[in-house]
Amino acid sequence: MSSLPVIDPALYPAQLEEKRAAMQAMFAHFELPELEVFTSPETGYRMRAEFRVWHDGDDLDYVMFEPGDKHTPVKLTECPMVDERIASMMFEFLEAVKGVEELRKRLFQIDFLATLKGELLVSMLYHRAIGEAWSEAVAPLRQQFGIDIVGRSRKNKIVLERDFVIEELTVNDRKYIYKQTENSFTQPNARVCEKMLQWALDITHNAEGDLVEFYCGNGNFSLPLAQNFDRVVGTEISKESVRSAQFNIAENKIDNVSILRLSSEEFTEVLQGKRQSRRTEGLDLASFKFDTVLVDPPRAGLDDETVKQIQTYPAIIYISCNPETLQQNLEVLTQTHRIERFALFDQFPYTHHIECGVYLVKK
Instruction: Collect the ranges in the chain with pLDDT lower than 70.
Output: 1-4
CA distance 341 to 362: 13
Separation between Cα atoms, residue 11 and residue 22, nearest integer Å: 17
The CA R_g of the chain, rounded to the nearest whole Å, is 22
Q: Please tell me the predicted confidence (pLDDT) of residue 268.
A: 86
Say how far apart CA 5 and CA 99 lie, in whole Å.
30
Respond yes or no: is residue 321 known to be catalytic.
yes
Among 42, 182, 355, 356, the one annotated catalytic: 355
For residue 193, indicate whether it is catalytic: no
Q: Which entry of 79, 193, 216, 321 is annotated as an active-site residue? A: 321
Write down the pLDDT at residue 71. Answer: 77
Domains belonging to the chain, first-starting first, are 9-42+189-362 (3.40.50.150), 48-165 (2.40.50.1070)
The pLDDT, as a whole number, for residue 3 is: 56
Q: Quote the mean pLDDT of the chain.
A: 94
pLDDT at 20: 96
User: Which candidate, 200, 212, 198, 361, places its Cα nearest to that of 295?
Assistant: 212
Element (H, E) at 177: strand 174-181
Predicted pLDDT of residue 1: 47
29 Cβ partners below 8 Å, 6+ apart?
A: none
C-alpha span between 247 and 21 (Å, rounded): 41
* Residues in contact with 175: Cβ distance below 8 Å, sequence separation at least 6, in sequence order: 168, 169
pLDDT reported for residue 118: 95
